[in-house]
A and B are shown apart, each in its own frame.
Chain A
Amino acid sequence: MIKTKHILETIKMVDELKFDIRTVTMGISLLDCADTDGEKARQKIYDKITKLTEDFVKTAEKTEREFGVPIINKRISVTPISIIAGSSNDTDYVKFAETLDKAADAAGVNFIGGFSALVQKGFTKGDEILIRSIPEALSVTNKVCSSINVASTKAGINMDAIKLMGQIIKDTAYLTRDKDSLGCAKLVVFANAVEDNPFMAGAFHGVGEAEKVLSVGVSGPGVVKYALEGVKGKDFTEVCETIKKTAFKITRAGEVVAKEICNRLNIPFGIMDLSLAPTPEIGDSVARILEEMGLESCGAHGTTAALALLNDAVKKGGIMASSNVGGLSGAFIPVSEDEGMIAAVNAGSLSLEKLEAMTCVCSVGLDMIAIPGDTPTSTISAIIADECAIGVINQKPTAVRIIPVYGKSVGDMAEFGGLLGRAPIMAVSKFSSEEFIARGGRIPAPVHSFKN
């Protein structure tokens, strides 16, 4: 029989340490929904999503009760809409976003991702229309998430797209100004976007994916922190070993629950995303794990090293536990969604510059960072360009989800509510990047030899 101490440990993980499955995300291909008539395409999209997700939430809820591990979010990701809507003669894709929103409501999920375009090398007609539709689309919908891939290691960095995205982010912030520019929290700009990411706001169902799959993102910063409390003062070999063992357990738990849902819905299992994803709740913070390793406050010197080892050890434990690892698989360091990060910013120990350095060793970039509402468009573009450079050179995904909160400045707080949390407005450089961004064009793909 299974040891009592293991049963009790699992119950403690869920009850006290906030272990959960952060998301089960159903990826749905919409490639067969394209139509020259936009109205017809939208009808096909709505019908397909609602049919495939009919029993999704109900089944997930039943399964989480049987295993005793809560699933916090049930979500949907779809084929990048620029590809589907691009076949239509429409000149504005806001209605496509509204269709996705309605389908998400009908399915009972809390987010739907895929109002997306991949423009790392250039824009198609559909890509450009979609990007220009983003501000309105995100202001008139509640559940739609948008992501744009503007760079890749193979294609380089599309600086025209980055320039445009600076403006789109500002416009989205303005249109959702009555909710602290919440629209920007549902918009991610990527370099090296992955096609099978189950986490929002960057989830979309890549064209290389199957007709439908179910992917899962587990979480458990609280569990990792608790495990590290047991090895206080021990050397890093032991720290890594402890993290690995913990990651193994949480990955296994996530996989068994997800596979059961797949069996019941008769849908193939996609991937396990091993990312440690925090929430704004106390005891569910990645920053507090880094501090548990011996840092006075997240952002102190040593933070990048601590994050690197955390990220690596989580992957090693998770990869041992599951043969279906994919997605982003790395620690997330969103400011607004992590109580410890918020505290670190307020204490003055964590700056935008340090966060940028941290993104070199983990996924997924500058995430949920609130900046002053009057930040110039070119500065936002330049922040994206820096982050893309890190991703492109290091052959890893990076992203920017930044919120220029309308009417607020350094010292204020932005309130997004729920899982999106609250964020102190962080300072950006006061020096201009205007001429740098005005150049446009493309930064070529980097050489993969002479790595220095």
Chain B
Amino acid sequence: MKAIITIFGKDKVGIIASVATLLAKHNVNILDITQTVMREYFTMTMLVDLSGSKTEFIVLQDELSKKGQELKMDIRIQREDIFEKMYEI
């Protein structure tokens, strides 16, 4: 299963590093990253592959959300197919 991780919040050092470390711990493979910083606000979307991970989606979601609280960022993960269905005919 592929999923999209989105991160919003005030830019700071080490956001990608700490999220990527968490994902590596759960054997989640990062396929693509897009990021923008507008003024001091950071937005990142990440395409990840969960097929190698044994962690349940909901558990990973909770951990990411906890990580978001630590970093004072909003981090969420959603399945990729919803965007595909909504924006492709």
Listed stretches A32-40, A139-147, A249-257, A295-303; interface member: A249-257
CB-based contact B83/A10 at 8 Å: yes
Chain A contact residues: over half helix, strand or loop, or mixed?
helix
Interface string of A16-58 (1 = CB under 8 A from B): 0000000000000000000000000000000000000000000
Asked whether A253 and B85 contact (CB < 8 A) given A66-B78, A67-B79, the answer is yes
CB-based contact B82/A67 at 8 Å: yes
CB-based contact B32/A1 at 8 Å: yes
Chain B residues near A257: list those with CB within 8 A.
82
- Bound Cα distance A10, B45 (Å): 13
Interface string of B65-80 (1 = CB under 8 A from A): 0000000000011111
Nearest CB of chain A from residue B78's CB, rounded to whole Å? 4
CB-based contact B85/A2 at 8 Å: no
Tally of contact residues, B, Cβ under 8 A: 24
CB-based contact B76/A68 at 8 Å: yes
Tally of contact residues, A, Cβ under 8 A: 21
CB-based contact B45/A7 at 8 Å: yes
Cβ of A452 within 8 Å of any chain B Cβ, yes or no, is no
CB contacts between A and B, total, < 8 Å: 63
Cβ of A439 within 8 Å of any chain B Cβ, yes or no, is no
Cβ of A6 within 8 Å of any chain B Cβ, yes or no, is yes
- Bound Cα distance A65, B82 (Å): 12
* A3 to B, closest residue via Cβ: B87
Interface string of A59-79 (1 = CB under 8 A from B): 000100111110000000000
Nearest CB of chain B from residue A367's CB, rounded to whole Å? 29
CB-based contact B82/A4 at 8 Å: no
CB-based contact A66/B83 at 8 Å: no
Chain B residues near A2: list those with CB within 8 A.
4, 45, 47, 80, 83-84, 87
Chain B residues near A255: list those with CB within 8 A.
85
Name A66's contact: one of B43, B47, B79, B87 (CB within 8 Å).
Answer: B79
- Bound Cα distance A373, B85 (Å): 48
Chain B residues near A10: list those with CB within 8 A.
78, 82-83, 86
Chain B residues near A419: list those with CB within 8 A.
none
Chain B contact residues: over half helix, strand or loop, or mixed?
strand
- Bound Cα distance A7, B3 (Å): 11
Cβ of B57 within 8 Å of any chain A Cβ, yes or no, is yes
Chain A residues near B84: list those with CB within 8 A.
2
- Bound Cα distance A271, B17 (Å): 44
Interface string of A236-267 (1 = CB under 8 A from B): 00000000000001001101110000000000
Cβ of A447 within 8 Å of any chain B Cβ, yes or no, is no
Name B58's contact: one of A62, A67, A69, A256 (CB within 8 Å).
Answer: A62
* B32 to A, closest residue via Cβ: A1
- Bound Cα distance A249, B4 (Å): 18
Nearest CB of chain B from residue A244's CB, rounded to whole Å? 13
Cβ of B27 within 8 Å of any chain A Cβ, yes or no, is no
- Bound Cα distance A452, B54 (Å): 65
Asked whether A8 and B82 contact (CB < 8 A) given A1-B34, A65-B61, A68-B76, the answer is no
Cβ of B6 within 8 Å of any chain A Cβ, yes or no, is yes
Cβ of B36 within 8 Å of any chain A Cβ, yes or no, is yes
* B44 to A, closest residue via Cβ: A4
CB-based contact A249/B86 at 8 Å: yes
Q: Which residues of A contact B (CB under 8 A)?
A: 1-4, 6-8, 10-11, 62, 65-69, 249, 252-253, 255-257
Q: 10 additional contacts, CB 8 Å, given A2-B87, A65-B57, A68-B76?
A: A1-B47, A2-B84, A6-B83, A8-B43, A10-B82, A10-B83, A65-B61, A66-B61, A66-B78, A252-B86
Q: Which residues of B contact A (CB under 8 A)?
A: 4, 6, 31-32, 34, 36, 43, 45, 47, 57-58, 61, 76-87
| A-B pairs with beta carbons under 8 Å apart, 7 shown | A1-B34, A10-B82, A11-B76, A68-B76, A249-B87, A252-B86, A256-B85
